[in-house]
Amino acid sequence: MKKVLFIAMTLMLGLISYGQQAGGCGLGEVPLFINFTEGNDADEISWDLGEEGEEPIYFGNGSTGISIACLELSKCYVFNISHLDGTGGTEGGSTVTLTIGSEVVNTTEGSEWGFGFGFYMPWCNNCDEGQSRIVYSAGEYAGENMFTVSNCEGDIIAEMGEGEASFDECVVLPEIYVLTLSDTYGDTWNGGTLSIDGVVYEQPTQAQPLNQLASDTYEIGGVCIIYGCTDETASNFDPLAEEDDGSCEFIFPGCTDPTASNFDSSATLNDDSCIYCDGDYVSLLLTDSYGDGWNGNTISINNNIYSIFDVNGEFTIDVEVQYEGGYSQNTDLCVDLSECIDVIYNPSGEYGPENLWVIFDSEDNILGGSSGYIGEVNGEPTFLFPESGTIGDCSVVGIGEINKSEDRGSFKVFNAMGQEISLDKLPSNVVLIRRYENGSSEKFLLED
């Protein structure tokens, strides 16, 4: 009974490299020559050639060969020989020679076919799963050739430097990556190529003039997107970013010291505004309805002067330019609310009716405010404060008290702008200040 001897062995040809269009084949292909020396057992021999794991694409016997077959570098091929009587052709005298390009890679006599043979191409991706094979094929002046493979962030994954002229490695590549081929003299790679998983890349660009670096860049797998912060208000805004990656950082100035009385948990940058207060922490809000600052008017508290400066950051009267900071200013103060503290509005500038001031305690309760400031009493209709005023414990001050009902008609109350204020518009327990021409003053507590 005749037996069919089927053989398959792989040869790794890692030392062989080929340029494009070798032996008449196209770019990315290599020629394979199969030649038989016919013996008297030629009719008992059959062979086939095909991709690994696929049906054969070339067939023949011991008396026929093919002069040329162009094989794709990106694929793996197996060459199989069978001998019908299983003798291995020990007496037949047939031989086969396999040539890849111009290199003879295997010559066997029939006596060796008892175990058979096959081969993989040098560019076959025989790397571990998830890896890609990168192979450099030298042309002329290979020492001038360089390349880098990098990810979209610019991190180098693989590279060949000047003068190395050799590269054949398995690497893990990202989904999208950038290949840059360079030549230090600038006259292209002179026939050299680089293949990645069998796909061949060239460096065709020449420098003008020569004797300087020339490069060609390929984005492989897609187009690299520049990620970064796209919010122009962020401190790390990247004008080159094409897609926001959630990395935006925002600076919120304020007091970052938790031991300070005005600690701000939302602040990210300490602006030296921290107050270390042994007394009471209050907030002074100044506003201007036109938005050009207080035009030279001021507030005096404990001999300290406060105001909203003009657009130039100066204390002037006649600069009437509106700007964002000209509408309001908030200042943190440390006071002793166990004392009665005068809050004096000084109409030393212009446009006083535009100015308002309010003082809040640490829980945002209103302690005092200027004429025109609208507040609420138990959610009911609003009331007005006098232009100047007091904060703190002013329950016993001055030389007397004024009763809204009993003393009505015996005096009038004016704000700093000379406008008369109805007693009914004033809340109880505010302090009114009577000023005399000699500069002295008296304080009166207003009661119901």
Tokens of 72: 């794709």
* Residues 361 and 280 reside in one and the same domain: yes
Q: Is the peptide bond before 253 cis (omega within 30 degrees of 0)?
A: no
* Residues 428 and 376 reside in one and the same domain: yes
312, 320 Cβ separation under 8 angstroms: no
* Residues 326 and 395 reside in one and the same domain: yes
**Percentage of the chain surpassing pLDDT 90?**
23
Residue 108 falls within a domain, yes or no?
Answer: yes
CB atoms within 10 A of CB 189: 28
Residue 402 scores a pLDDT above 90: no
Q: Which of 316, 303, 395, 314 is CA-nearest to residue 351?
A: 316
Q: What's the pLDDT at 210?
A: 92
Which of 87, 114, 141 is at the close of a domain? 114
* Residues 205 and 63 reside in one and the same domain: no
52, 160 Cβ separation under 8 angstroms: no
Kindly report the pTM of this predicted structure: 0.39
Residue 63 falls within a domain, yes or no?
Answer: yes
For the chain, the average pLDDT equals: 75
Q: What's the pLDDT at 377?
A: 40
pLDDT class for 439, splitting at 50, 70, 90? low
CA distance 388 to 421: 12
39-70: per-residue pLDDT in tens? 666 777 777 777 777 888 877 776 665 556 77
CATH number, domain containing residue 136: 2.60.40
* Residues 273 and 396 reside in one and the same domain: yes
CA distance 135 to 391: 83
* 188 burial via Cβ count (<10 Å: 0-12, 13-18, 19+): buried
3-class SS shares of the chain: helix, strand, coil, % to 5: 5, 40, 55
pLDDT class for 9, splitting at 50, 70, 90? very low
Residue 121 falls within a domain, yes or no?
Answer: no
Q: What's the pLDDT at 430?
A: 64
Of 32-41, 92-101, 182-191, 339-348, give the lowest mean pLDDT range.
92-101
443, 433 Cβ separation under 8 angstroms: yes
188, 203 Cβ separation under 8 angstroms: yes
CA distance 150 to 156: 4
Q: Which range scores top for mean pLDDT: 111-115, 135-139, 185-189, 295-299? A: 185-189
CA distance 221 to 440: 85
Q: Which of 364, 343, 357, 339 is CA-nearest to residue 281?
A: 364
Residue 227 falls within a domain, yes or no?
Answer: no
Higher pLDDT, 367 or 387: 367
Residue 371 scores a pLDDT above 90: no
* Residues 290 and 434 reside in one and the same domain: yes
192, 204 Cβ separation under 8 angstroms: no
CA 32 to centroid of chain Cα atoms: 50
Strands (E), 73-208: 77-83, 95-100, 103-109, 132-137, 145-150, 156-160, 168-171, 177-183, 193-196, 199-201
Residue by residue, DSSP assigns 232-250 as TTSTT--TT-SEE-S----
Residue 226 falls within a domain, yes or no?
Answer: no
Q: Which of 57, 60, 90 is CA-nearest to residue 72?
A: 57
Q: Which range scores top for mean pLDDT: 8-22, 39-53, 117-131? A: 39-53
Residue 316 falls within a domain, yes or no?
Answer: yes
Calculate mean pLDDT across residues 392-405: 62
Q: What's the pLDDT at 387?
A: 65
- Give the CA count within 13 Å in the CB-facing half-sphere of 91: 3
CB atoms within 10 A of CB 20: 19
Tokens of 73: 């570098």
CB atoms within 10 A of CB 294: 29
CA distance 128 to 172: 9
220, 176 Cβ separation under 8 angstroms: yes
* Residues 211 and 70 reside in one and the same domain: no
Q: What's the pLDDT at 3?
A: 29
CB atoms within 10 A of CB 175: 9
CA distance 12 to 9: 10
Residue 99: which domain range? 5-114
64, 36 Cβ separation under 8 angstroms: yes
* Residues 442 and 324 reside in one and the same domain: yes
Residue 217 scores a pLDDT above 90: yes
CA distance 81 to 34: 12
188, 205 Cβ separation under 8 angstroms: yes
Q: Residue type at 56?
A: P
Which of 155, 187, 220 is at the close of a domain? 220
Residue 249 falls within a domain, yes or no?
Answer: no
Total domain count, the chain:
3
Strands (E), 172-221: 177-183, 193-196, 199-201, 214-220
Higher pLDDT, 143 or 67: 143
Which of 47, 82, 114 is at the close of a domain? 114
* Residues 275 and 142 reside in one and the same domain: no
* Residues 350 and 410 reside in one and the same domain: yes
Tokens of 335: 């006071």
Residue 251 falls within a domain, yes or no?
Answer: no
* Residues 96 and 138 reside in one and the same domain: no
Q: What's the pLDDT at 119?
A: 39
151-173: per-residue pLDDT in tens? 998 999 999 999 999 898 889 99
* Residues 90 and 165 reside in one and the same domain: no
